[in-house]
A = this chain, B = another copy of it.
Amino acid sequence: MPADRIEVFAPDGIGEVVEGTDLAALVAPYLADGDVVVVTSKVVSKAEGRVRVGDRDQAVLDETVRVVARRGPTRIVESRIGVVLAAAGVDASNVAPGSIVLLPEDPDASARRIRADLAARDGINVAVVVSDTAGRAWRHGQTDLAIGLAGMLPFESFEGRTDAYGNPLAVTAPAVADEVAGIAEVATGKLGHRPVTVVRGLSDRVLAPGEHGPGARALVRETGTDMFGLGSREAVVAALSGRDQDAFGAPATADDLARALTECGLPASPGDGRVTVAAQPDDLRIAVLAFAHAWRVVDDSGDSATVLVPLS
């Protein structure tokens, strides 16, 4: 449902956040029932003691689950919390020089905690967004995203609904939580001490007290359903080395693979859990197509045909 009027403001004068700072107490004075409060991951991390003194590069490695792409000094990775971003969210800005800040351990849990504290102590029902900054695959610049969320649904789902003309709106699911995090970035700026933004006018989106919703984790595409699980260059290198099979999704059946190979001009037949191709085993196309379907080339046929078996 469209809102009548949304108001966004980033209060000035929020003090320094250190380990143990009570974030609910910090934000409560600015909030009213039905507000959405956006807190940067930076201050959540500081409050939760996620500041380290040490080597940034090592911290990035520690926080990385999977390297998605690398070019020059840039390293796009999947971080522990599932979010794909540069440097695994390890940040050396807005912190004392020489220190680094890691992402919160579980930003959805952080959001739920702040929301529950505000309900219990201050008697207000608000939604909480924990935001962080990320680049985009095809666009310059960064936007802020919701990496933690409680008390609001991450999406507005239009599935099964129709527009004013009666057309179905099947695939539309606006990521409202990300869009709210984005405008908070605009209100906050990056230079001052304004780590908290209040978004007022979305009370129809705030869930009932005690209902937290699925959290921001639901915004993250699962590895393997992801068409961009690797950069273009990295995908080719992975095909070479047999790494990162996940990026290619579920293995094909022998029938499917035989069909795919035949379509590519490599006549193939399935049988006995293997696929046999009437072509030289060193044909590059066989190896690459087989890999893309999670099969590998073996060569025990004893003649000029190629035999493929499932990878795992």
Contacts and interface: CB of A to CB of B under 8 A. Distances in A.
Q: Which of A93, A95, A192, A229: most chain B CB closer than 10 A? A: A93
A189 interface: yes
Contacts of A193: 164
Contacts of A25: none
B233 A167 contact: no
Interface residues on chain A, size class:
35 or more
Given A226-B137, A235-B236, A176 B169 contact: no
Contacts of A247: 232-233
Interface in A134-190: 136-145, 154-156, 158, 161, 163-169, 171-176, 178-180, 182-183, 185-190
Interface of A: 1-10, 68-69, 71, 74, 76, 78, 83-84, 86, 92-97, 133, 136-145, 154-156, 158, 161, 163-169, 171-176, 178-180, 182-183, 185-194, 201-202, 218-221, 226-240, 247-249, 282, 284-285, 287-289, 291-292
17 contacts: A8-B183, A71-B249, A93-B172, A136-B137, A137-B228, A140-B175, A140-B218, A174-B185, A174-B190, A176-B186, A186-B202, A227-B231, A232-B247, A233-B247, A233-B292, A240-B289, A282-B282
| A-B residue pairs, 6 tightest by C-beta | A141-B175, A179-B182, A2-B189, A183-B183, A84-B138, A137-B228
